[in-house]
């Protein structure tokens, strides 16, 4: 049976396997019609995840190198010619069209084989009665206990399972929080650059948004104090860790200052912590942090999710609230969806128990780190912000660039990025900047796109452009 050897260490493992397949076909080591090892067998022989082999075979199929026959296996295709066609194809195939750096999503990880096995395990070992029936709006007790342990291990937050509600992702959690805390016409405070979904929900609920200034550590306490006094607002929505879009992260002192302002103005806080996945093992250092919910548990509605850090389609989120607000939170949950799907929560619980969740976090983090390293090399000459938990970068723009001008010029050169105005609560007051999301693509293509950003940074905008 075929075994891929001498793999290229500079590209993703699945791409390296597909590339070795192409090379062995071109050299004649693999003959047309040869049957390849099964995904399971090759993964076992190589000591790697089945998903990696599955993705490699899928890529090879897309390139016309192999064919999959249901019930029989994967076979080397009979490619005619002198081998030039094979030699010309590569796993780093040339792609056309603009490079899209606007999609803020975690790195792709093939989960087909893993998901099939996990669903089989659930069918064999888990009590399925009631999984498709109406259940408790909080979610099953055993799921809440497992998710609470995960929050302790990953977020450093000791959640009470009895005051935890399982949601269909963080977006539903935010919907619940706003529904529980706000009435139509209320004003809520928001970071001046923020997650666009909060603007959509504000329109839905009839809420007014008031921006609060932020720096590299998030919300400025003095401006929060000022805006609270001027607006009389009693609710703040913020993302203290790896903020979207700026990547800002509050240090311990800043969190204490924000807590003091909240206490002074009787402010309730909605904390969005979807990017948290640090291991809180008692170590100290700049990367150690604790949620605002730990700083002021009586004032924070805390939202987290597994979607960003484990799998986007795993729509399992968590929301906790102080005892004084829990009934309102539970009622809002019942109003929006009644309950999160128990079967989805069962899958999440299984992956947490058997270590799959942690493995996926580590794997996605490794991919992100490699992408961030590429960005660091290409963007070394310009000041930009990043965080290890983010798959995006934030680039403040120098004058006379406006966000709109930069985005339009980058688009004309084949690179799509997002302007600061897309995230602004008040577009007229925010400084120009762009968000660039790092996507897994051929490295040369990513380097070229980031190189375009660097070049534009030092170029003057076109005189005929207008600025925003």
pLDDT tens-place string over residues 73-93? 899 987 654 334 444 344 444
H-run or E-run covering 272: strand 268-272
Both tokens of 293, joined, read: 């919910």
Report the relative pairing of strands 433-437 and 418-419 from DSSP bridges: antiparallel
For the chain, percent of residues with pLDDT exceeding 90: 61
Q: For 269, list phi and psi in degrees, rounded to 5.
A: -120, 130
Task: Name the one residue in this structure whose structure tokens are 């529904």.
Answer: 179
Sequence-distant (6+) residues with CB within 8 A of 125 are: none
Q: Cβ atoms within 10 A of the Cβ of 446, count?
A: 19
Residue by residue, DSSP assigns 333-387 as HHHHTSS--HHHHHHHHHHHHTSHHHHHHHHHHHHHHHHHHHHHHHTTTS--B--
Sequence-distant (6+) residues with CB within 8 A of 123 are: none
Sequence-distant (6+) residues with CB within 8 A of 385 are: 216, 246, 247, 248, 393, 394, 395, 396
**464 pLDDT band (50/70/90 cuts)?**
low
Of 72-86, 186-200, 301-315, 394-408, give the lowest mean pLDDT range: 72-86
Q: State the Cα–Cα distance between residues 270 and 273, nearest whole angstrom.
A: 10
**pLDDT (mean) for 225-242:** 96
Of 47-56, 272-281, 413-422, give the lowest mean pLDDT range: 272-281
Nearest to 243 by CA among 190, 300, 315, 298: 190
pLDDT of 48 strictly over 70: yes
pLDDT at 395: 98
What does the radius of gyration of the chain's CA atoms come to, in whole angstroms?
25
Beta strands in 171-252 (DSSP E): 187-191, 208-212, 214-215, 218-219, 235-238
* Selected residue with higher pLDDT from 237 and 309: 237
* Selected residue with higher pLDDT from 98 and 281: 98
Query: Alpha carbon of 279 to those of 136, 150, 310: distances in Å?
Result: 31, 10, 15
pLDDT of 371 strictly over 60: yes
Both tokens of 412, joined, read: 């004309």
Of 124-133, 254-263, 284-293, 440-449, give the lowest mean pLDDT range: 284-293
3-state SS class at 179: helix
- Are 298 and 290 contacting, i.e. CB atoms less than 8 angstroms apart? no
* Selected residue with higher pLDDT from 56 and 80: 56
pLDDT (tens digit per residue) in 351-362: 999 999 998 888
Between vectors from CA 309 to CA 307 and to CA 313, what angle results, nearest 5°?
30
The structural domains of the chain, ordered by start, are 13-88 (1.10.10.10), 99-109+357-457 (3.90.1150.10), 128-354 (3.40.640.10)
- Are 209 and 188 contacting, i.e. CB atoms less than 8 angstroms apart? yes
> In 8-47, which residue ranges form alpha helices assigned H by DSSP?
13-27, 39-46
- For helices 50-62 and 112-125, the axis angle rounded to 10 degrees is 140
pLDDT of 466 strictly over 60: no
Of 150-154, 390-394, 446-450, give the lowest mean pLDDT range: 150-154
pLDDT of 440 strictly over 70: yes
Strand-pair partners of 392 = 437
Helices (H) and strands (E) in the chain, counts: 16, 16
Sequence-distant (6+) residues with CB within 8 A of 444 are: 92
- Are 12 and 439 contacting, i.e. CB atoms less than 8 angstroms apart? no
pLDDT at 79: 64
Q: 3-13 burial, b for 16+ CB within 10 Å, e for fewer?
A: ebeeeeeebbb
First to last CA, the chain: 61
Q: State the Cα–Cα distance between residues 131 and 342, nearest whole angstrom.
A: 6
pLDDT (tens digit per residue) in 241-298: 999 999 999 999 999 999 999 999 999 999 999 887 654 333 333 345 688 998 899 9
């Amino acid at each position: 049976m075929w075994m891929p050897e001498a793999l290229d260490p500079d590209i993703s493992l699945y791409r390296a396997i597909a590339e070795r397949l192409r090379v062995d076909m071109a050299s004649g080591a693999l003959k047309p019609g040869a049957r390849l090892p099964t995904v399971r067998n090759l993964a076992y022989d190589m000591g790697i995840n089945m998903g990696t082999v599955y993705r490699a075979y899928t890529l090879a199929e897309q390139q016309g190198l192999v064919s999959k026959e249901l019930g029989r296996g994967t076979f080397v295709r009979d490619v005619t010619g002198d081998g030039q066609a094979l030699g010309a194809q590569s796993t780093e195939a040339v792609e056309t069209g603009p490079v899209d750096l606007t999609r803020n999503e975690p790195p792709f990880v093939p989960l087909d084989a893993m998901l099939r096995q996990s669903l089989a395990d659930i069918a064999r070992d888990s009590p399925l009665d009631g999984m498709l029936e109406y259940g408790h709006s909080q979610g099953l007790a055993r799921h809440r206990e497992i998710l609470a342990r995960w929050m302790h291990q990953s977020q450093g937050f000791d959640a009470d399972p009895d005051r935890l509600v399982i949601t269909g992702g963080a977006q539903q959690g935010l919907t619940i929080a706003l529904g529980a805390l706000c009435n139509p016409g209320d004003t809520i405070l928001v970071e001046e650059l923020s997650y666009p979904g909060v603007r959509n929900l504000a329109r839905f609920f009839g809420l007014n948004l008031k921006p609060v200034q932020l720096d590299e550590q998030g919300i400025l306490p003095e401006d929060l104090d000022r805006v609270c006094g001027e607006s009389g607002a009693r609710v703040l929505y913020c993302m203290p860790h790896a903020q979207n879009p700026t990547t800002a992260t509050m240090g311990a002192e800043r969190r204490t200052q924000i807590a003091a302002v909240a206490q002074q103005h009787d402010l309730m806080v909605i904390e969005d912590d979807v990017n948290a996945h640090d291991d809180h093992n008692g170590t100290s250092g700049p990367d150690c942090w604790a949620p605002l919910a730990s700083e002021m548990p009586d004032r924070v509605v805390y939202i987290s999710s597994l979607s960003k850090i484990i799998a986007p389609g795993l729509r399992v989120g968590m929301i906790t609230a102080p005892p004084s607000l829990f009934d309102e939170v539970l009622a809002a949950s019942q109003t929006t969806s009644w309950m999160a799907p128990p079967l989805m929560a069962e899958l999440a619980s299984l992956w947490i128990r058997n270590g799959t969740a942690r493995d996926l976090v580590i794997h996605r983090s490794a991919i992100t780190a490699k992408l961030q390293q590429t960005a660091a090399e290409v963007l070394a000459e310009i000041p930009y912000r990043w965080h290890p938990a983010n798959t995006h970068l934030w680039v403040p723009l120098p004058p006379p660039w406006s966000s709109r001008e930069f985005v339009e010029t980058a688009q004309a050169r084949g690179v799509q990025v997002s302007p600061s105005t897309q995230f602004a609560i008040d577009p007229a007051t925010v400084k120009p900047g762009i968000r660039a999301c790092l996507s897994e693509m051929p490295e040369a293509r990513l380097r070229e796109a980031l190189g375009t950003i660097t070049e534009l940074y030092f170029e003057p905008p076109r005189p005929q452009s207008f600025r925003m």
